[in-house]
Amino acid sequence: MGVRTQIRAEYGGEVTTLRTAHTSDLPAAELRAARALLDEAFDGDFSDQDWDHGLGGVHALVHDETGALLAHGSVVQRRILHNGRSLRIGYVEAVAVRPSMQRQGLGGQVMGALERVIDGAYALGVLSASAEGERLYLARGWVAWKGTVGAIGPDGVIQLPDEDAPLLWGADLDPSYELLFDWRDGDIL
């Protein structure tokens, strides 16, 4: 069984519970609820590959007092190459808040839990922010990468000049060296 924490907090008059758990410790019904929340929050623009990218790591879930899922995010392990070093990173995926509950601090609750996981288990954190989510991350201390990015693909290094700069947490990396991400199907970042 994975590590679980519970924090009760009041947001907008509702009592919420934050829980963290590894994918393997989440029952199928809770995973289905998370996927449904992501579909709702991203207005149907959350693919099966996007969902797959968020599995296999630690999830942060916020429920209301009735048990309804209000917010979700996960952090999964990935690798980057930077300046001749391979770094184990915590990559944040699948962050969403139920649309009717946005702008009430629940995204911050989720990110606080994920940042604690990153601080305790990884060299740094990385995420690719939507235009709507970027403000939350920057306000929490995430910083935009100033260098170039690429990926190590099946046929070698692939440059990603059209990708938006990822955001980094707890990083002190030299932007004169590119970040090379591990390969995955779908969106690389």
189 assigned to some structural domain: no
187 assigned to some structural domain: no
What's 153's domain CATH number?
3.40.630.30
The predicted model scores a pTM of: 0.93
Q: How confident is the model at residue 16 (pLDDT cuts 50, 70, 90)?
A: confident
What digits encode the pLDDT tens for the residues 130-169?
888 899 999 999 999 999 999 999 999 999 988 899 999 9
Measured in whole angstroms, the distance separating CA 83 from the mean position of its chain's CA atoms is 24
188 assigned to some structural domain: no
Number of domains in the chain: 1
SS3 183: coil
* Residue 122 C-beta-side C-alpha neighbours within 13 Å: 26
1 assigned to some structural domain: no
What digits encode the pLDDT tens for the residues 26-74?
999 999 999 999 999 999 999 999 999 999 999 999 999 999 999 999 9
Per the prediction, the chain carries an average pLDDT of: 93
